[in-house]
Amino acid sequence: MIEFDKSIVFIFVLLLFCYTFRLLYATRFRKDKSYIFIILLFGMFQLTIATFLDLFAGIIDEPCVYHLLKLCFTVGSIFYVIGIILWSGFTANMINDLERMASLDSLTGALNRNGLNKAFEALIESENSFYLFVCDLDHTKLVNDTLGHIEGDKFINNAAQIMVDAIGKNGHVSRIGGDEFIILAKYFDILKIEATIFHIKAKISELYPQNNFGISVGYASFPEDGETFEDLIKIADARMYAEKKKKHTPDQN
């Protein structure tokens, strides 16, 4: 007679086997990861056979059935544990990727507001001096109106890459919306900061030299100009708009 508790175990293992097969099907296009679920599926298949044989082991009462049951259970357990270990690593990597993606701007790959806040907090905790740049691309609307929005996105993306290359490992570039960027840069002397800004402006102006599209930049230093994000933004923003206004003011000389 088939025991009720063994039936429940078999049904549970069978459901796990079906669920693992579904995971394998869902990752069929991820050739680099599907092997994990193949290992899990093989393990669950062996465990399913083992629990199925265990249902009828008492009825059949053959030594070969017990030997096959033990073999399937042992092999299945080994492969399933290996699969679980690999799946744990895969899940951890996936979570890290999702967290990283949640901190990045989808267009440029620079940090978004969430990533900027985290980077700012990390710099504050380090208690080291740093600079905050507020950057605003000039005439982006004109790029969109004359060359199209695809070219406008290209302009923003290329400008972001120029800033990322200029800052390198010495800071972080973030896009906070539209054509506006904020850069956090580790502390350098003022000549280095001005040289970096000059390099960014020169490279961006070369993207469309015939149209005079460029970038306006204002900066503030921590802790000299302020110790909070709002204080630094306020000062850097004012300097950036002063520069932008100067560009639009005709030379009286």
Residue 32 has pLDDT above 80, yes or no: no
Which residue has 């002397």 as its token pair? 189
> pLDDT tens across 53-83, in order?
888 876 777 788 888 989 999 999 999 899 8
Query: Is omega for the bond preceding 223 within 30 degrees of 0, making it cis?
Result: yes
% of the chain with per-residue pLDDT over 70: 92
Residue 91 has pLDDT above 80, yes or no: no
Residue 146 has pLDDT above 60, yes or no: yes
Question: pLDDT-based confidence at 140, cuts 50/70/90?
Answer: confident
* pLDDT at position 30: 66
Cβ atoms 204, 156 nearer than 8 A: no
Residue 192 carries which side chain, given as an amino acid letter?
Answer: K
> pLDDT tens across 166-221, in order?
999 889 999 998 899 999 998 777 888 889 999 999 999 998 877 778 899 999 99
Q: Using CA atoms in the order 243, 248, 252, 253, what is the torsion angle rounded to 10 degrees?
A: 60
CA 108 to chain CA mean position, Å: 12
Give the residue from 238, 116, 122 showing the smallest Cα distance to 182: 116
CATH fold for domain 113-248: Alpha-Beta Plaits (3.30.70)
172 three-state secondary structure:
strand
CA distances to 125, 132, 175, 233 from 227, rounded to whole Å, are 12, 11, 22, 11
Question: pLDDT-based confidence at 250, cuts 50/70/90?
Answer: low
Question: pLDDT-based confidence at 252, cuts 50/70/90?
Answer: very low
pTM of the model: 0.66
Which residue has 């544990």 as its token pair? 81
Cβ atoms 205, 212 nearer than 8 A: yes
Where exactly are the structural domains of the chain? 4-102, 113-248
Q: Which residue has the higher pLDDT, 249 or 95?
A: 95
Residue 88 has pLDDT above 50, yes or no: yes
Q: What are the phi and psi torsion angles at 56 (to 5°)?
A: -110, 5
